[in-house]
Amino acid sequence: MSAPADLLVVGGGAKAAAVAAKVHAINALGLARIALTIVEANRPAASWMGLNGMTSGDEPLAITPIKDVGFPYESGGAFGELGAELDRAMLGFSWQSYMLDRGGFARWVNAGSPGIRHRDYGAYLAWVLARATAGVRIVHGRVRRIGLGAEDRWSVEVAQADAERARHEAHALLLTGSGVHRHLPHDPDAAPWMFHCDDKRGEFTRIPADRRTEIGIVGGGEGALSCLMFLRALRPAARLTVHTPSLPLSRGESFLENRVFSDPDSVGWSGLDLATRRMFVAQCDRGVFGPDGLAAISYDDQCRFLTGRVVHLGADGEGVRLDYASPDGPRAERYDYVVNCTGFDLLEQLRGLFPPPVRAEIERRSGPLWDLPSSTELRFGRGLEVEGLWPRLHIPGLAGLTQGPGFANLGCLGLLADRVVAPLMVGNVAERPVGDGRAATPV
């Protein structure tokens, strides 16, 4: 074990890239000495590249890439008078800088600044992580368990590629990623005809290509749309049915919605009642399809949508019987295969990382967390940390309802980094070097 890091990040994706860029800028400007460790099991931005789960990397990115790792470039809210200097340094990690570095900026602008694919965004994130080096270390391995070490530090056990296990300690922990798929009630004998949104793409080749198949997709968000587009390309003859609690909406991208994602304080997000916040998230994030994705299936007569909540799956010969509560009462459909795209459960993933004694100690310090009813709001502080817990445990994927919807996705990566990194400045202030700090911008 090396010296403990100030912050350890599990996962090398978009949130990790944003935090790494901010830490690099702070260290390079001489504002503080912050040590960041990122643990990534595969390779940086692997999920965006189509190396994890069902996505191929060819899906359209739901937002404009201009909302990059520094967006919204308003660091003054967290760092005061240092904010403008930090924002200038962060421009070295912007999407524009990346495109200039690749020699494609003018071509992209002249084409009307078109949307990009997941894999294009993944390449950008990998570029950021390769350049954010000041105080930043990337460890290649898979986190196996997390405990509480000495002096109120997190102790993280990592299985590395060479089969060796290493232990890393940190004063604060940031957990990223989507989690594991949510449970969909089903009989055990229906499992052979079920897939889940985090299955590898190769597993779907079990669906026969030599005959027409009926496939049910359960879910109403981007995961369900991504699944639909992937299966349409993989099995063009299949008939696809999407089961959603309500008809999915397309993302409107109005100025007000975008403002809420990038600046939740502008609408006093934390002061809104719970029902209003839940409704906004449901209508503008979780229960929506991107317009580009909808356009791709707009003329597909082998695709249909059925509203209602799926309650159970059972085996039906060489297939699945899907029971759902429709607006007109109980209904049932038969499918050759069903894909569970109801979303991910981050807490379930955390249960696998934290041993029972550690989970109990976390609840002793912060209050109930693991087995609360799904309707209960989890409380997070302004730093996207579990409220009342020390050492800090940042979980942006769960903090969106409390602190702002953009923290659970790509809506405000720069603001997310501000919220997580600002507390690390306390006790880490360094003597600033002579000069204007412009060396902080990577070259």
What is the pLDDT, as a whole number, of residue 433?
43
CA distance 134 to 131: 9
Peptide bond into 72 cis (omega under 30): yes
Supply the angle between the helices 346-353 and 396-403 in degrees, to the nearest 10.
140
What is the pLDDT, as a whole number, of residue 89?
98
CA distance 435 to 293: 49
pLDDT single digits (tens) 86-110:
999 999 999 999 999 999 999 999 9
Label residue 441 by pLDDT band (50, 70, 90): very low
Specify the higher pLDDT residue, 109 or 376: 109
- Taking the alpha carbons of 421, 426, 427, 431 in that order, is the dihedral positive or negative? positive
pLDDT single digits (tens) 263-297:
999 999 999 999 999 888 877 766 556 666 666 67
pLDDT reading at 431 higher than 70: no
pLDDT single digits (tens) 132-152:
999 999 999 999 999 998 778
What is the pLDDT, as a whole number, of residue 253?
59
What is the pLDDT, as a whole number, of residue 423?
95
Bridge pairing between strands 136-148 and 154-160: antiparallel
pLDDT reading at 164 higher than 80: no
CA distance 248 to 318: 30
CA distance 58 to 226: 10
What is the pLDDT, as a whole number, of residue 437?
38
pLDDT reading at 22 higher than 90: yes
Bridge pairing between strands 249-250 and 180-181: unpaired
- The mean-pLDDT minimum among 22-31, 200-209, 300-309, 426-435 falls in 426-435
CA distance 272 to 278: 10
3-state secondary structure of 118: helix
Average confidence score pLDDT of the chain: 87
What is the pLDDT, as a whole number, of residue 160?
79
pTM (two decimals): 0.86
CA distance 124 to 101: 11
Exposed e or buried b for every residue in 62-86, given b needs 16+ CB within 10 A? bbbbebbbbbbbbbeebbeebbebb
Partner residues linked to 218 by β-bridges: 243, 340
Number of Cβ within 10 Å of residue 177's Cβ equals 18
Half-sphere exposure of 322 (CA within 13 A, CB side): 27
Label residue 434 by pLDDT band (50, 70, 90): very low
Summary count for the chain: helices (H), strands (E): 14, 19
Query: 320, 310 in Cβ contact below 8 A?
Result: no
pLDDT reading at 435 higher than 50: no
* Nearest C-alpha neighbor of 327 from the set 244, 221, 250, 228: 244
Partner residues linked to 386 by β-bridges: 380
Label residue 54 by pLDDT band (50, 70, 90): low
pLDDT single digits (tens) 306-355:
999 999 999 998 999 999 999 889 999 999 999 999 887 888 888 889 99
Structure-token pair, residue 239: 């008939």
Query: 358, 146 in Cβ contact below 8 A?
Result: yes
Average pLDDT over residues 49-72: 84
Task: Using a pLDDT cut of 70, give the percent of the chain over it.
Answer: 89
What is the pLDDT, as a whole number, of residue 18?
98
Average pLDDT over residues 31-49: 92
Label residue 129 by pLDDT band (50, 70, 90): very high
CA distance 367 to 387: 9
Q: In what helix (H) or strand (E) does residue 259 lie, and over which residues does it extend? A: helix 255-262
- The mean-pLDDT minimum among 218-222, 352-356, 411-415 falls in 218-222
Instruction: Write phi, then psi, for 53 (nearest 5 degrees).
Output: 70, -160
pLDDT reading at 248 higher than 70: no
pLDDT reading at 439 higher than 60: no
Bridge pairing between strands 7-10 and 172-175: parallel
What is the pLDDT, as a whole number, of residue 251?
58
Partner residues linked to 145 by β-bridges: 157
Average pLDDT over residues 370-379: 80
Total residue count of the chain as it appears in this document? 443
Which residues, 6 or more positions from 61, have their beta carbon under 8 angstroms from its beta carbon? Answer: 115, 116, 117, 118, 120, 121
Number of Cβ within 10 Å of residue 223's Cβ equals 24
| Domains annotated on the chain, with CATH | 7-180+344-440 (3.50.50.60), 183-248+287-340 (3.50.50.60)
